[in-house]
Amino acid sequence: MTLKLFHGIELLQPHIKMILQKHRPDCIASDYLFPWTVDVAIELGIPRLAFNGSGFFNLCVANSIDCHRPHNNVTSETEQFVIPGLPDKVTITRSQLPDIVKGENEVFSALFDKLKEAERKSFGVLMNSFYELEPAYADHFRKVTGIKAWHLGPVSLFNRNAADRLERGGETSIRKHSCLDWLESKKPKSVLYICFGSLTRFSKTQISEIASALEESRHSFIWAVGKILKSDDQDWWLPEEYEDRLKNSGKGLIIKGWAPQLLILEHPAIGGFLTHCGWNSILEGICAGLPMVTWPIFAEQFYNEKLITQVLKLGVPVGNETWKVWANEESPLINRDKIEKAVRTVMGDTDEAMEMRKQASRLEAFAKMTIEEGGSSCNDLKALIEDIRTYKHATGRGESR
């Protein structure tokens, strides 16, 4: 289905070309998953910017593994190995690598080879990141690949419209005031927020383990519960009488469906974030100054986990060791004890927890400064505009109308 979607979008190429010929834009900014746009751009003499919705660390890890193939030197799926050539010591296992990386999906491997070629032919790459978050990796990526890159994030901070932030990505499944009123009753930094994104599907057994772990941790929480894996009974998600106990104790709030994530994360009562490590969620957690419990599942999420837990020292892993092709495939069960331990570590008052909170607060401050005048992302945006102007003059295109 995914390949059919990509092919269907590629059929738009002649129509996009006609529009670009008519309007002659200064540049083309397109998702890196649309490699054909670079051919149109080159033909028309327009610089193509590939938008990559992840961070520099992810690209550096992917490039290193692609070049050095360290996973071919281990004897088992669970043996830890060091990813070579990175600014920090980062370890991972074969079981946490995407199938594409391991050469176990020839069709998608061919697609990603095409994406890498298009990236090299592009004018440069736009990153939803900021320099202070991963400075060594921003520099490393530019040095090792020779590809121009501009960090323009965190993009979620640019939109300051309250209504838009409430429904970022979709219409919420809970009234704003119901959620905020519940949070107002809690002490600062006392509530854990749990969300696994819109694509993840867990089994009923895994949902039950999560529910038990959260209850037994004795920390207050808001949980955006997704749909159940391979089940027609999508309303019966939680253990019997679980929600009744939460209402009586006031310890938990369940959101079945889309949650107003930005508003929740930014509330003073939130003290931690259990996340699937999607890049948007990672950045939103950082912008809110939150330590994290990491539970990656698919895509580049295991790479993002390594950034949070091994490089930034901003969170602890829940213990998932197996990458899945799709977020709706059943993963190995993570038992309640592991989940509870990770939650207690992040939400507790130990020295480790305090250090994570200090680091989270430091990065939050950098994230908010970077988009203001004089900040690194603001400066990179200005540099991008100047680079495009320079390109236009060098190619004789002059100023656009």
The pLDDT tens digits of the residues spanning 305-316 come to: 999 999 999 999
The confidence score (pLDDT) of residue 198 equals 84
Supply φ then ψ for residue 349, to 5 degrees.
-120, 25
The confidence score (pLDDT) of residue 3 equals 76
- Does residue 33 carry a pLDDT above 70? yes
- Environment class of residue 102 by beta-carbon count within 10 Å: exposed (0-12), middle (13-18) or buried (19+)? middle
The confidence score (pLDDT) of residue 175 equals 62
Of 229 and 121, which is predicted with more confidence? Answer: 121
pLDDT tens readout for residues 367-399: 999 999 999 999 999 999 999 999 998 987 755
Q: Which stretches of 54-104 are assigned E, i.e. beta strand? A: 81-82, 91-92
Token digits of residue 369:
């400064």
- Environment class of residue 282 by beta-carbon count within 10 Å: exposed (0-12), middle (13-18) or buried (19+)? buried
The confidence score (pLDDT) of residue 116 equals 92
The confidence score (pLDDT) of residue 240 equals 78
pTM here is: 0.93
SS3 275: strand
The confidence score (pLDDT) of residue 159 equals 80
225 and 188 in contact (C-beta within 8 Å)?
no
Q: Which stretches of 47-183 are assigned E, i.e. beta strand? A: 48-52, 81-82, 91-92, 124-127, 149-151
pLDDT tens readout for residues 225-279: 977 666 555 555 688 789 899 999 999 999 988 899 999 999 999 999 999 999 9
The confidence score (pLDDT) of residue 400 equals 46
Name the H helices within 256-394.
261-265, 279-287, 301-306, 336-347, 351-370, 376-394
- Residue 267's closest CA among 155, 326, 192, 338? 192
Token digits of residue 119:
């990236």
Give the mean pLDDT of the chain. 91
pLDDT tens readout for residues 189-207: 999 999 999 888 888 889 9
The confidence score (pLDDT) of residue 327 equals 61
The confidence score (pLDDT) of residue 398 equals 57
- Does residue 162 carry a pLDDT above 50? yes
Residue 19 CB: number of other CB atoms within 10 A?
Answer: 11
Residue 263 CB: number of other CB atoms within 10 A?
Answer: 18
Long-range CB contacts (within 8 A, 24+) of 68-77: 71/97, 71/101, 71/102
Sign of the C-alpha dihedral computed for residues 365, 269, 354 and 315 taken in this order: negative
Strand partners, 292: 273, 315
Most confident of 146-155, 169-178, 255-264: 146-155
- Taking the C-alpha atoms of residue 109 and residue 124, their distance in angstroms, rounded to an integer, is 22
Token digits of residue 265:
């994360």
Phi-psi region of 45 (alpha: psi -120 to 50; beta: other; left: phi over 0): left
- Does residue 401 carry a pLDDT above 50? no
The confidence score (pLDDT) of residue 112 equals 85
